[in-house]
Amino acid sequence: MRNRLVEGKEPFEQSGPMGKGKRAKKRRPFLEEDGDVEQSEERPSKKPRPESSSSTDIIKKYKDLQKAQEVNEKSYLRTLEERVAALERENYSLRNALSIIEVIASPPLQSGLNMFRF
């Protein structure tokens, strides 16, 4: 089946008078197919394809991603270290408080100072 242009039909017809800054609307030409004259359907608008990245762009994005992961890992480790340090300080303070309470609550020493009698 061969398609050929129908004689006397213009492939690009203007739709109305052209104004300033307007372009003629492109229309697909009429096609004749085995004696039947029909107008070809207009194609739906194509979605723009995403630009393909070059290999250098991909490598750069990969390295940036690795750096971001390292930074996140370091900050996570830092926060863990800060938490451990805070818990150690709290533990130290609690041990000091416990030792003071034990000294106060213990029976007075027989040999020496009897300051803590109640």
What is the CA 87 to chain-centroid distance, rounded? 35
| pLDDT (tens digit per residue) in 37-91 | 455 556 666 676 666 678 889 999 999 999 999 988 888 888 889 999 999 999 9
With 0-12 / 13-18 / 19 or more C-beta atoms within 10 angstroms meaning exposed / middle / buried, residue 43 is exposed
**For the chain, first and last CA: distance in Å?**
116
| pLDDT (tens digit per residue) in 2-49 | 555 555 555 555 455 555 666 666 666 655 555 544 555 566 666 766
Least reliable range by pLDDT among 23-27, 99-103, 110-114: 110-114
